[in-house]
Amino acid sequence: MAGAATPERRSASVEVRAKGRRLEGHAALFGVEARIGTFSETIRAGAFKGSLGRDVLALVDHDPGRVLARTKSGTLRLAEDTRGLAFDLDVPDTSQGRDILALAERGDLGGMSFGFTAEPGGDAWTGEKRELRSVTLHEISVVLAWPAYQGTVVNARSRGIQTPAPRLALAGRYLETLRG
């Protein structure tokens, strides 16, 4: 898997907030271990640093036909903070955009995800554990169902109200048992 040319995708059930016509939260968290098939993976702080000046898309479920925003137009803003890859995006006034906002406000989003390729030497393996150290970020995605990274809760915030999504954590634990 190291140095794969095909973009990889990772998802996390992370905090997503709806604020007016904007979504904000984290698309990836540093130091959170995720089980990806037969191996586990973490992301090191600074892994996205080289991608912050690139044109990165915000999609729905990794579908390039469902663009929400992009850095080139200024409708998507990305930054690394102490927790991970933070995002802030202006949701378009389209049927798709309105649907995403409605799901975020209800707490029904599955989480966030990102599509990337590891830079040469940008990942390190220790047995069946992989650490992402430097990646080329292609896109972030709103995930409508279950993400790969577990351990955090999806929240929608609107008008200062926080609504947890406990069903998501249960569904994620169930899916982990199926992955075996």
Residue whose pair of structure tokens reads 């990772």 in the numeric block: 10
Least-confidence region, from 77-81, 113-117, 128-132: 113-117
pLDDT at position 17: 54
Residue 128, exposed/middle/buried by CB under 10 A (0-12, 13-18, 19+)? exposed
SS3 50: helix
The token pair at 101 is: 């906002």
Highest mean pLDDT among 69-78, 89-98, 109-118: 69-78
pLDDT of residue 163 exceeding 80, the answer is no
Least-confidence region, from 59-63, 74-78, 110-114, 122-126: 110-114
The beta strand positions in the chain, using DSSP E, are 8-12, 16-19, 22-29, 34-36, 39-43, 57-60, 63-70, 76-80, 84-90, 111-118, 123-126, 129-132, 135-143, 155-158, 161-164
Distances (CA, A) of 180 to 38, 39, 145, 164: 9, 12, 19, 27
CB neighbours of 98 closer than 8 A, spacing ≥ 6?
Answer: none
- The reported pTM is 0.74
- Quote the percentage of the chain above a pLDDT of 90: 50
Q: 148, 34 in Cβ contact below 8 A?
A: yes
Residue whose pair of structure tokens reads 């469902």 in the numeric block: 66
pLDDT band at 145 (very low <50, low <70, confident <90, very high): confident
pLDDT band at 170 (very low <50, low <70, confident <90, very high): very low
CATH class of the domain whose range is 8-179: alpha beta
